[in-house]
Amino acid sequence: MLLSKYATKSPWLFRINTGSCNGCDVELATTALIPRFDVERLGCKYTGSPKHADIVLITGPVTARSENYLKRMLVEIPEPRVIVAIGICAISGGVFKDSYSIRGPVDKYVDVDVNVSGCPVRPQSILDGVAKAIEIWKEKIEQFHEG
């Protein structure tokens, strides 16, 4: 498939904040995007719509308030998709673990593919994680078109 061949070269990134402290979001939206680190060199592009998303970057420990929004958002993201958990809150709950208002971590709700830990995550680690996610996404899209 010609389309899948070119699609693997330009995955679209989508961010979901599930009640994080905004540290990881700052690293994702500004630090990893500025010319200094430039996540777009890997062929990625941020999108504003979950329906266009290929690689989903989830931050935050899933608070009780954001739980329902996360569930509704995940329904809208089409397969094949790659889920990347950014920051220790998304991976394990971090400092907010076992708190009364925390429903996370993220892998209770969706099959996470890549974990990138840090508090907040270093921009180079985000690039590492996105590069890993692109590899996984290539495999997934091949499987999707074969079967």
Partner 1 sequence: MAGFFKQAIRNFVLGPTTDPYPFGETFLPETYRGILTYDSDLCIGCSTCEHVCPTNAIKVEEKEDGSGISFAFWMNTCTFCGNCVFFCPTKAITQAPNFHTARPQDEKYELTANGEVNLVKCAECDKMIPPFNEILLERAYGEVTDEIRMKAALCPDCRRRLHFERLYL
121-to-32, 90, 117 alpha-carbon distances in Å: 10, 11, 6
Question: Closest approach of Cβ 71 to partner 1, in Å?
Answer: 20
Q: Say whether residue 36 binds partner 1 (CB under 8 A).
A: yes
Give the C-alpha separation, 83 to 26, whole Å. 19
Q: Is 39 helix (H, G, I), strand (E, B) or coil?
A: helix
Question: Closest approach of Cβ 99 to partner 1, in Å?
Answer: 12
Q: Say whether residue 111 binds partner 1 (CB under 8 A).
A: yes
Question: Closest approach of Cβ 130 to partner 1, in Å?
Answer: 9
Find, among 79, 82, 95, the residue nearest to 24 by Cα: 95
Question: Closest approach of Cβ 132 to partner 1, in Å?
Answer: 6
The encoded tokens of residue 89 equal 């809150």
Q: Which of 47, 50, 136, 138 binds partner 1 (CB under 8 A)?
A: 136
Q: Phi/psi class of residue 121: alpha, beta or left (left: φ > 0; alpha: ψ in -120 to 50)?
A: beta
Q: Say whether residue 41 binds partner 1 (CB under 8 A).
A: yes
Question: Can you give the binding site for partner 1, defined by CB under 8 A?
Answer: 35-38, 41-42, 88, 91-95, 97, 107, 111-119, 121-122, 124-125, 127-129, 131-132, 136
